[in-house]
């Protein structure tokens, strides 16, 4: 089965988006690590690993379907945040943007009658529901905790992300 020609460029764009998200999560993790918020830092380091795994899923799918993936530079990253809530809001905005990108890829796969691509993308549709929910809950927790970020640290320690990064096959 071959990936439809019109899917190749958008899939390569998604690879860039996923690698950029991974690097961005490392920047957010470093922000929390620098503030001695180790649980939040570890949460975002795990998120970075997961985004890397997402990019690799696209790379492998493209290769398996006869398309050549292009490994891009990442987009410009943000390294400064005004508060923990600002950092998590940025992550939530990023997840919402990725959700839109995945939905656009699903729409394209339907328009192109690329059933293999559509099937592949369904995992990402489900994953984005979890990602947006996780970031929304984390942002709400930070807002509820106010200045007591130790409560947030405890919450993150007791509630690991929905899906830990799995090794790429």
pLDDT attached to residue 75: 85
The CATH number that applies at residue 26 is 1.20.1260.10
The CA distance from 135 to 133, in Å, is: 6
Sign for the CA dihedral angle at 153, 154, 157, 158 comes to negative
Greatest Cα pair distance in the chain? 54
90: in domain: yes
41: in domain: yes
* Number of domains the chain is built from: 1
Verdict on whether the full-model pTM lies above 0.75: yes
pLDDT attached to residue 162: 55
168: in domain: no
166: in domain: no
165: in domain: no
163: in domain: no
pLDDT for 127-151, tens place per residue? 999 999 999 999 999 999 999 999 9
Residue ranges making up the domain that contains 92: 5-71+79-158
The CA distance from 32 to 107, in Å, is: 37
């Amino acid at each position: 089965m071959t990936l439809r020609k019109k899917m190749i460029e958008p899939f390569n764009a998604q690879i860039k988006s996923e690698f950029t998200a991974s690097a961005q999560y490392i920047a957010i993790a470093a922000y929390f690590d620098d503030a001695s918020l180790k649980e939040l830092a570890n949460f975002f380091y795990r998120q970075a690993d997961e985004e890397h795994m997402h990019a690799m899923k696209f790379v492998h799918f493209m290769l398996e379907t006869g398309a050549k993936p292009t490994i891009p530079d990442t987009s410009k990253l943000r390294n400064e945040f005004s508060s923990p809530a600002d950092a998590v809001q940025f992550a939530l905005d990023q997840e919402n943007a990725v959700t839109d990108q995945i939905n656009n890829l699903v729409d394209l796969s339907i328009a192109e009658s690329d059933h293999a691509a559509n099937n592949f993308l369904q995992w990402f549709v489900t994953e984005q529901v979890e990602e947006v929910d996780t970031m929304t809950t984390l942002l709400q927790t930070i807002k509820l905790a106010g200045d007591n970020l130790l409560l947030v640290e405890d919450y993150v320690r007791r509630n690991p992300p929905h899906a830990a990064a799995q090794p790429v096959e």
